[in-house]
A and B are shown apart, each in its own frame.
Chain A
Amino acid sequence: MEIFADLFGLILIVLFLVLGYGFGRLAEARHYRSIRRREEAFSDLIIVCCKTVPESLPNSGGQMVRGSVVVSVDYFKRFVARLRMIFGGRVHTYESLLDRGRREALLRMQAEARKLGATMIFNTRFETSSISKGRGQSVGCVEVLAYGTAILP
């Protein structure tokens, strides 16, 4: 009986890997398409990291805007990342997770600024935190927060 339990556990892992790979790829491809489309749409809303606003710009005050996103990685990518942690090297499978998180956070910040009628955001900053830290078996999950000062027209 024990061998069946072992076999069942193994089949479950393979199933999770296949599902994770399939759905993870689909979700990522869809997310990237949406990110690129919105980046194009927001390309006129300037984001910069300067701390001070140049004198030459028309300026009627500023307001903080922020965009926050929580993204999770799929089972397959987490499995590969864990294997990678045995040997070391670039964790390729986590790179796209953080890239998507940062770009999505910027887009949400831009969306907020657009609502205020702003055309520029100064002093843009990022914060990234792992919200599954310390819980080994939980899903790898990060929160990315982007914030800055929107210059009101």
Chain B
Amino acid sequence: MEFRNPRVPEGINVSRHSPLYEFFLLGLGALLLFAALGFASLFLGSLLGRYAPVAWENAVAGVIIEGRLTKGRDGAEADSDSAPLHEELQALADRLAGHMALPAGLTVKAHYLDSDEVNAFATVGGHIFIARGLIERMPHENALAMVVAHEIAHVAHRDPAAALGGVVLLQALAALVTTSGSQVPEELILGPNALLLSSFSREVEREADAAALEALAGLYGHVAEASTFFEAVLGLPQPPELLSSHPLTQERIDEIGETARERDWPLRGETTPLTPALARLAAGG
């Protein structure tokens, strides 16, 4: 019997595969997979948020919003300077809400925000916030009403609940993937979906503009000066549309005119002055 040591044959146990090729192929596959999963969870989450019972939205707002309101809108806690502003904003919001279809159980709670930013936003539970910086740029009630109505429209369409639902589910997915030790960076999941999220929200903004315009027509009988706010912010720097959560300002101004003509709402009419406290703020005192 003769024994021999063979030369170890190469290429049987170790495949001649380029690891870089494998890296790019698998990486691309994983990227697409997570983008798809992320989009699905965002979509499903926003659907769940939008159609969840109003009582749930109010309960969530009780935890995440109402606990953080430092200045009570009524009662002794209220800051004496901003109390009349709160009240007047609330009165304007109530008048506008009368011309809008809010889901049962959801009421609008307006808040004055002491901030230089030219900003207003709506959040869960019917809370809307109007910043000082914005009010200071408003020449009359009609312009401010467009902004307030726009935010009420978000509440009525349940957009904040939808956004919250989508983000919560997306974050849950990201947390699940990153904590399962899969070495997948969170950016891989959150990155591509930030773009999808912003285009998704631009559509939502267009719908809110349309609903706001309808409320203005109902309240004043015309939609004069509805685009004043947008004209005021046109001078401010704007992000490119792809990255922005809102449609471009000029586009929104054009759309307001178009909708008004379509629905036969007069584009001219008598403007209503701001209520006393708001007028004092707008006048710079």
- Per DSSP, chain B at the interface is loop
Q: Tell yes or no: B254 within 8 A of A by CB.
A: no
> Do residues A54 and B1 form an inter-chain contact, with CB atoms below 8 A?
yes
Most chain B beta-carbon neighbours within 10 Å: one of A44, A45, A83, A136:
A83
Question: What residue of chain A has the Cβ atom nearest to residue B20's Cβ?
Answer: A21
Q: How far is the CA of A84 from the CA of B196 in the complex (A)?
A: 27
Q: How far is the CA of A96 from the CA of B26 in the complex (A)?
A: 19
Question: What residue of chain A has the Cβ atom nearest to residue B190's Cβ?
Answer: A6
Q: How far is the CA of A108 from the CA of B187 in the complex (A)?
A: 45
Knowing A21-B19, A39-B7, A76-B19, the reply to whether A86 touches B187 (Cβ < 8 A) is no
Q: Tell yes or no: A120 within 8 A of B by CB.
A: yes
> Do residues A82 and B29 form an inter-chain contact, with CB atoms below 8 A?
no
> Do residues B8 and A86 form an inter-chain contact, with CB atoms below 8 A?
no
Q: How far is the CA of A93 from the CA of B16 in the complex (A)?
A: 10
Nearest CB of chain A from residue B77's CB, rounded to whole Å = 32
What is the size, in residues, of chain B's interface with A at 8 Å between Cβ atoms?
25
Q: Tell yes or no: B13 within 8 A of A by CB.
A: yes
**B181: which of A45, A48, A95, A137 is its contact (CB, 8 Å)?**
A137
Knowing A45-B5, A56-B1, A80-B22, the reply to whether A92 touches B17 (Cβ < 8 A) is yes
Q: Chain A residues with Cβ under 8 A from B30's Cβ?
A: 83, 86
- Against A, the Cβ 8 Å flags (1 = close, 0 = not) of B31-47 are 00100000000000000
Q: How far is the CA of A127 from the CA of B27 in the complex (A)?
A: 33
> Do residues A46 and B7 form an inter-chain contact, with CB atoms below 8 A?
no
Nearest CB of chain B from residue A71's CB, rounded to whole Å = 13
**B23: which of A10, A54, A83 is its contact (CB, 8 Å)?**
A83
Q: Tell yes or no: A79 within 8 A of B by CB.
A: yes
Given A42-B5, A120-B3, 17 further pairs, Cβ under 8 A: A6-B187, A10-B185, A21-B19, A39-B7, A39-B8, A54-B1, A56-B1, A77-B19, A80-B22, A82-B183, A83-B23, A84-B22, A84-B26, A87-B29, A93-B22, A95-B13, A99-B14
Contacts A/B (CB < 8 Å), 26 sampled: A10-B185, A13-B185, A39-B7, A39-B8, A43-B5, A43-B7, A44-B5, A46-B4, A54-B1, A77-B19, A78-B183, A79-B23, A82-B182, A82-B183, A83-B27, A83-B29, A84-B22, A86-B30, A86-B33, A87-B29, A90-B15, A92-B19, A92-B22, A95-B13, A99-B13, A120-B3
